[in-house]
Amino acid sequence: MAKASQTYSAGLIIRQKEPTNLETPFDQVDSYLTPTDLFYIRSHFAAPRLELASYQLRIDGAVRNPLSLSYQQLRDMPSETRVATLECAGNSRVFLIPQVAGAQWELGAVGNAEWTGVLLGALLERAGLEDDACEIVLEGADRGTPTEEPVPPGPISYARSLPRDKAIQREVLVAYQMNGRDLPQEHGYPVRAVVPGHYGMASVKWLTHVQAVREPFRGYWQTSDYGYWDYLDGKPVRRALGQMKLKSEIARPRVYETLAPNYVYPVFGAAWAGETEVTGIAVSTDGGQTWAEAEFLDPIQQHAWRRWKFDWLTPTEPGRYTLMARAKGANGNVQPDKHDPNYGSYVINHPLPIEVFVDDRTNRLV
Amino acid sequence: MAKASQTYSAGLIIRQKEPTNLETPFDQVDSYLTPTDLFYIRSHFAAPRLELASYQLRIDGAVRNPLSLSYQQLRDMPSETRVATLECAGNSRVFLIPQVAGAQWELGAVGNAEWTGVLLGALLERAGLEDDACEIVLEGADRGTPTEEPVPPGPISYARSLPRDKAIQREVLVAYQMNGRDLPQEHGYPVRAVVPGHYGMASVKWLTHVQAVREPFRGYWQTSDYGYWDYLDGKPVRRALGQMKLKSEIARPRVYETLAPNYVYPVFGAAWAGETEVTGIAVSTDGGQTWAEAEFLDPIQQHAWRRWKFDWLTPTEPGRYTLMARAKGANGNVQPDKHDPNYGSYVINHPLPIEVFVDDRTNRLV
C-alpha cells in the first residue's frame, strides 16, 4: 500500500497537544531548507489570532521617536532575506537521564529556513535608539500564566530581551515570510522576530512590541525559564540563555532502525552552532570509542546548518550498535562529552547515542 | 537524497529513554502484522537479561503439583500461534487536555503481531489448578521501585493478575516467539505472557513465575497504577484495568500533514477492540459533525485489529481540516465522544482529532 502522492509533508510528532508543541520527524529531513510544513512548532500559550488590518508594531522605550507601524508600513520598508537555523533550547531533552520535566523533544526541535523581513536594526535606527539603551525587549501577543517556579503573579505576555549589540546586527530580522510565503499562524503570523545564532526562544513570534530598555530585562523567560547557572567569582548567578551551542544530530538511521550487515549505509545528519562556524564533523559507530571524519554536503554559511554524510560499512556481525556524531567549531572546540547540569533541562548538545540493530533478515517472516 | 535501501524498519520514536519506552511511528504502519522492529516497546524498569540455560518458569500457589519448567521443556510442549493486537493502556495520552503525567504516547503504542508459545491453560492444567483459585498472578523478572502514589515500601517485581476464567482461555499464551522468531530482548526474551483482548500491561514480559491465588491480587499495578474508578452502589471503588476498549486510529495522514486540494487521499488506519468484534468504521473530515462509512481491509478475527481505508476527496478550499475515525462493535456500541475521567490517564479511546492542512502548492518555494 503506497503512500498517497499528493502529500506535501511527513506531518509532525505531537510532544504536547495544547499549547501546540510539535516536532519534526527528523529522519524525514533531506533538503537544506526545512519545508515549512515539516518545521517544528514551539508554543508557550495558545496561538493568538492577529488581523493584518489592525496589526501594529510598537517601538518605544529608550528611543527618541517612538513609532507604531502597520503591517503595510513594514512591508513597504526595504526587505532582507536570511537563512537561519532555529533550535529550541530544550531540543533532545528526552536523551537526559534521569528524565526531566518539559516537552520530551527528541531530535526534531530544530530546522533551517529562509526568513524575509526588515532589519530590527533599521527599525531601531528609525526610532532613534538612545545611546544608553542596553537591551531590546521583544514582546509577543501570546499571553498566559506560566507554570515553572518562581511563577509570576498573573498572566504575562511572552517576552525576551536581546543585548543591544546583537539586536543591531544585520542578521536579526523582524520577519513576515518563511521560505518565501507569509508566516503560517503557528510560526508567528503576521510578524515575528528571527534571531540567527540564538536558541529559538529569542525569535519571538506574533511580535507586537519592541522596547528599548536602560537596565537588563529580568522577565520570566530570562530568569525562571530559559535561564542557566553561571559562576561569578565562584558564586552561582542566574543568566539568560542566548547563543546556540555547537551541536550535531544524526537524522538517519533513526533510533532502533534495523540495518543489513555488510552494506554501505549512508549515515546522514546536520550540524550547527551559534556564532561560530562548524568546520568538522566526526562519526562514531562504536558508542564513542573511535571516530572517523564525515563529509559536509553544504558550505559554511553563518547561522545556518551544514548537512553531512558518512558512508558506514555495516558490520558483518549482527548486534546492537551505537552511533554518535560530534561537530568541531572554527575555534577548535568540539561538542562536550556530557550534558552540563548548570544548564538544567536545556542545551543538550553532547553527542547523542543512536542505537541501531544490524541483523541478517534471510528467512525472516516480518 | 534517497533513503538507504538496506533498512528494514522506520525506527521508533523515543518517548522515554530509560526505562526504554519507544513508540511506533504510526504513519509507517502498512501491513496487517506489525514488523517486530516497528513494534512499540513499553518498559517499567531496565530490561532484565535472562539466560536460556538457567531460565526457569515456576508455576505454583493454589495448584496440586507445583512445577518448574526449563526453556527447553516449554519448547517441547505443543505450541500454538495466535495473532493479537496489543495496545498500551496509556496509548494516545498526548491527546488528553490538560496534559497528564506519564509517557506522552501519541498513536503508536499499539501493534498487531503473531505470537507463538504454549497455552497458559495447558500449564495450569499440568500443575493441577485448584478449584478455589480465583486469579492467576503473572510475574516478570523486571524489578524496581515504581514512582506513582501510593509507592510501595521497596523494589518489587512487575506483576499482574488475570481472572481465572480469562487465564484458561485458549487465546492466552506463554509465548517465546513473535512474528516467527525468538522474542527480542525488549519484548520479553526468552518468555512472556500474551493476553489477547487485554491492554498490554497484562502481557507480562520476562515471565518467570505463574502463581495461582485464592484471593484477588491487589499488587501495585492493579491498584496504584493501571487502575480506574468504578462505582458500587454509588461509591467509587478501585478496579484493575483489563479488556481493551473499542478504538480506531488514523495512521495516514499524520497530524499537520499538508494535502493537495481536490485530490483523492486514501485515509488509512486500524480499529480494534478487546473481547468484541469491530463491525463498522466511520470517518469524519469535519471534526465530527458528519460521518461516512469507511471500508475494512481485513476480515474479522477476534483479538486482532482490522485495517481500513477511506478515500477522501480533499476540499477545493484551502484550510485546516480535522479528521476523526470512529469504530462500531458487534454489540452496537460505538467509541465514546469523550475520554472518561474515571480512567485517569488511561483508556483514551474517543475519536482522536487529526488536524491536517489542505493547501495548493503552485508557486511555492519549499
According to DSSP, residue B14 is labeled E
C-alpha pair distances (Å), A133 with each of A167, A171, A198: 11, 20, 20
pLDDT on residue A2: 39
Cβ contact (<8 Å) for A18 and B254? Answer: no
**Hey, is the C-beta of B25 within 8 angstroms of any chain A C-beta?**
yes
Per-domain residue ranges of chain B: 13-240, 247-358
Residues of A in contact with B350 (CB under 8 A): none
Chain A contact set for B95 (CB, 8 A) = 14, 17
Contact between B118 and B173 under an 8 Å Cβ cutoff? The reply is: yes
Chain A interface includes B97 (CB < 8 A): yes
Q: Is the pTM of the predicted complex or chain greater than 0.90?
A: yes
Residue B7 has pLDDT above 90, yes or no: no
Residues of chain B with Cβ-Cβ distance to A350 below 8 Å are none
Q: Do the strands B306-313 and B319-329 form a parallel or antiparallel pair, or are they unpaired?
A: unpaired
- Compute the average pLDDT of residues B96-103: 94
Q: Do domains A13-240 and A247-358 have the same CATH topology?
A: no
Q: What is the distance between the alpha carbons of residues A230 and A353, in angstroms, rounded to a whole number?
A: 27
Per the listing, cell 567549531 goes with: A329
Q: What cell does B310 get?
A: 477511506
CA-derived radius of gyration, chain B: 22
Write the DSSP string, B227-263.
Answer: EEEEEETTEEEEEE--BPPPEEEEEESPTT-EE-TTS
- Cα–Cα distance, A103 to B8 (Å, whole number): 29
Q: What was the pLDDT predicted at A9? A: 77
pLDDT tens for chain A, 366 residues long, are 334 445 677 899 999 999 999 999 999 999 999 999 999 999 999 999 999 999 999 999 999 999 999 999 999 999 999 999 999 999 999 999 999 999 999 999 999 999 999 999 999 999 999 999 999 999 999 999 998 888 999 999 999 999 999 999 999 999 999 999 999 999 999 999 999 999 999 999 999 999 999 999 999 999 889 999 999 999 999 999 999 999 999 999 999 999 999 999 999 999 999 989 999 999 999 999 999 999 999 999 999 999 999 999 999 999 999 999 999 999 899 999 999 999 999 999 999 999 999 998 754 544
pLDDT band at B2 (very low <50, low <70, confident <90, very high): very low
Give the span between the Cα atoms of B336 and B344, in whole angstroms: 15
- The pLDDT assigned to A363 comes to 45
Minimal Cα distance from B95: which residue of A?
A17
Separation between Cα atoms, residue A147 and residue B99, nearest integer Å: 13
For A92, nearest residue in chain B (alpha carbons): B14
Decide if B11 and A263 are in contact by the 8 Å CB cutoff.
no
Please give the DSSP secondary-structure letter assigned to residue B351.
P
3-class DSSP state for residue B269?
A: strand
A253 in Cβ contact with A265 (< 8 Å): yes
Q: What is the pLDDT of residue B366?
A: 47
Query: Which residues, other chains included, contact B362 with Cβ-Cβ below 8 Å and sequence gap of 6+?
Result: none
Which pLDDT score, from 0 to 100, does residue B265 have?
Answer: 95
3-state secondary structure chain A: CCCCCCECCCCCEEEECCCCEEECCHHHCCCCCCCHHHCCECCCCCCCCCCCCCCEEEEEECECCCEEEEHHHHHHCCCEEEEEEEECCCCCHHHCCCCCCCCCCCCCCEEEEEEEEEEHHHHHHHHCECCCCCEEEEEEEEEECCCCCCCCCCCEEEEEEEEHHHHCCCCCEEEEEECCEECCHHHCCCCEEECCCECHHHCCCCEEEEEEECCCCCCHHHHCCCEEEEEECCEEEEEECCECCCEEEEEECCCCCEECCCCEEEEEEEEECCCCCEEEEEEECCCCCCCEECEECCCCCCCCCEEEEEEEECCCCCEEEEEEEEEEECCCCECCCCCCHHHCCCCCCCCCCEEEEECCCCCCCC
Work out how many CB contacts closer than 8 A connect A with B: 171
For the beta carbon of residue A75, count every other beta carbon within 10 angstroms: 16
Beta strands at B21-23 and B13-16: parallel, antiparallel or unpaired? antiparallel
As a whole-number percent, the residues of chain B with pLDDT over 70 amount to 97
d(CA A244, CA B352): 36
CA–CA separation, A178 and A174 (whole Å):
11
A360 close to B (CB below 8 A): no
* Mean pLDDT within B16-42: 97
With a CB-CB cutoff of 8 Å, which residues 117-156 of chain A face chain B?
Answer: none
ipTM: 0.91
CA closest to B101 among chain A residues:
A101
- In this structure, CATH architecture of domain B247-358: Sandwich (2.60)
Q: Residue window 163-192, chain B: list those with CB within 8 Å of chain A.
A: 179-181
- How many other CB atoms are there within 10 angstroms of residue A235's CB atom? 7
Grid cell of B279 as nine digits:
463491525
Question: What's the grid cell of residue A223?
Answer: 530568569
Q: How many whole angstroms separate alpha carbon B117 and alpha carbon A337?
A: 44
Q: Which of residues 238-277 of B touch A (CB under 8 A)?
A: 252-260, 263, 265-266, 268
Long-range contact set of residues A73-77: C-beta below 8 Å, sequence gap at least 24: A74/A117, A74/A118, A74/A174, A74/A176, A74/A191, A75/A176, A77/A118, A77/A122
- Out of B22, B99, B257, the one facing A256 most closely (by C-beta) is B22
B353 vs B253: CA distance, rounded Å: 11
Q: For position A89, what pLDDT does the model report?
A: 98
Nearest by CB to residue B256, choosing from A6, A37, A359, is A37
Quick check: A329 and A279 in contact, CB under 8 A?
Answer: yes
Encode pLDDT of B193-227 as tens digits: 999 999 999 999 999 999 999 999 999 999 889 99
Question: What is the overall mean pLDDT for chain B?
Answer: 95
Handedness of CA A239, A242, A245, A248 (dihedral sign): positive
Any CB–CB contact under 8 A between B36 and chain A?
yes
Q: Under a CB-based contact definition with an 8 Å cutoff, are residues A122 and B45 in contact? A: no
CB contact under 8 A, A7 and B36: no
CATH number for the region A13-240 comes to 3.90.420.10
Q: Which residue of A has its CA nearest to B103?
A: A104
